[in-house]
Amino acid sequence: MKKASIAILFLTLGCFVKAQTSVSFQHLGNATFQNNLINPSLIPEGKLFIGLPVLSGVHVNVNNKVSYNEVFTKEADRIEVDVDKILGNLQQQNMLSATVNVNLLHVGYRLNSGPLLSFTINERVNADFVYSKELVNYVFNGNSDFLNQEVKISNVGTVATHFREFGLGFAAPVNEQLTVGLRGKFLVGFANISTPGNFRATITSNGEAFQVDADWQNATMRSSGMDIYRRDEGDLGSHLVFNGNTGFAMDLGATYRLNRYYTITGSIVDVGFINWKEDIENHTLNDTSFTYNGVDLQELDNITQTLEDSLFNKFDPSENSDPYRSWLPVTAYGSWIYHYSPKIDIYVTGGTRLVQRQVKMLYGAGATYKFGKAFTASATVTKLPQQFFNVGAAITAKGGPVQMYLAADQIVNFSVPDSKAFDFRFGMSFNFAGFGSNEPESGLSRGRIAGAKGLDTNVFLGRKVKTKKRDGIYSIIKRQKRRDLKNKRTQRDKSVDKKSLNGRTGKKNTDNN
């Protein structure tokens, strides 16, 4: 029963609790306004952007090291916890990580000179639990496997947060090559459970003396909003509108065109914190070291008092309601882009996320194809944290002002009982064109020629011509008629001779006068 309870807890956390993913969606470049939320320097193609609550964007992500079938085994008519299979699939450091992001509103407007102004509201739930294989082994099997060994319970921690962010963004081309973006965010926190990132503990089992030596530091569990969510106190409705748990964060991005073939782009998001002040409950075990020698079997008549004196009093717990600060998990992305053709881009992407002072990495490589102005699609090979290689895909379609997108990672051989991770995004928003005005080129877009008429207009040998399409800095035009250079040269020579003759005649008349 104990093992089953622990296993169910691990699976529940994995199913309902963020990791940096959505690589396939990132590879859409600036095809949607929502890509600007990942990289503030990406300016979408359009003039006015409007997103309605929920419809404009939902993002769900889960990343776990073990699947359902790696935890439970069916034996006859019973389902049992397979401890050996669990331990066999864990690595030294593991995590349960998940996110649910819902776009409540976004409005963006692109100025005629190029910059993008935006306002966004997002509802977010993030949860992470990092743990070691050694800890799981000790919990399931006790100290029998660790006699005369030191078990280090470090790099263990959790953070789960429900908050809302209000963002004000600005992105602008600095020059023809560089575009930068910045978004400041005001945060309102609703609930939080977290541990400090510096928790440390060691347990040593002495097989000869039959005793356990324990030592721990910074063992604290902090929480805010739990009683309000349980409706034990306060008003949940007003709490979810606004309260005293506030903070700030910042997103930064930059896109740089090396030349007509290569572009590099990167971002760092969620650099910020929330100060928790309402409905605080902090539970702390004071820093201590002790030795547990077991209980005296001759005192079993008073076993409760014996355990309290020999073990429970060693923990010295305390509680307080002191305000505290929690930091958002910082996420960073970087992509190298090869513009193979006006329609095809090749991406190589890397990402990192800081969780409880631990760095988690992801990698992706893929291609993006533009089907005219209405469709853009990407296909990507992904390597997510603690997962094997898999495939992701994304597509966006536009009909009139309505734009829809759909993206998913970990789609090959997807099966719920065997799944360890997945990432899914979808949304619909409104993207209005430039109302007859030409939009300056910025971000990753290949913009129109400034001042162009018709499809595109350029100058060829002193004459205006229409272009069929653009390839980087080059304009593709219709084949021009062959010029008769001989006749043109003859006409030019006659013109020169005539001017020379007129000059000499004028000089002669002057001399005669």
Residue 15 has pLDDT above 70, yes or no: no
Rg of the chain's alpha carbons, rounded to an integer?
Answer: 32
Asked whether 253 and 39 are in contact (CB, 8 A), the reply is yes
Predicted pLDDT of residue 14? 36
Predicted pLDDT of residue 88? 87
Q: 116 vs 482, which has greater pLDDT?
A: 116
Q: 250 vs 289, which has greater pLDDT?
A: 250
Looking at every residue in the chain, the average pLDDT score rounds to 79
Residue 9 has pLDDT above 50, yes or no: no
Q: 75: burial class by Cβ within 10 Å (0-12, 13-18, 19+)?
A: exposed
Task: Report the distance separating Cα 322 and Cα 317, nearest Å.
Answer: 15
Predicted pLDDT of residue 70? 84
Tens digits of residue pLDDT in 33-73: 999 999 999 999 899 999 999 999 999 998 888 888 888 88
Task: Give the list of residues 6+ apart from residue 25 with CB closer than 8 angstroms, or none.
Answer: 34, 35, 38, 378, 394, 405, 407, 425
Tens digits of residue pLDDT in 83-109: 888 888 888 888 888 899 999 999 999
Q: How far is CA 376 from CA 40, 345, 414, 422, in A?
A: 20, 11, 24, 22
Predicted pLDDT of residue 245? 97
Neighbours of 149 (CB within 10 A): 13
Neighbours of 425 (CB within 10 A): 22
Q: How far is CA 36 from CA 33, 89, 112, 502, in A?
A: 6, 37, 19, 67
Residue with tokens 């450091």, as numbered in its chain: 93
Predicted pLDDT of residue 78? 80
Mean pLDDT of 166-178: 95
Q: 148 vs 317, which has greater pLDDT?
A: 317
CA 305 to chain centre: 52
Mean pLDDT of 456-475: 62
Task: Report the distance separating Cα 108 and Cα 11, nearest Å.
Answer: 40
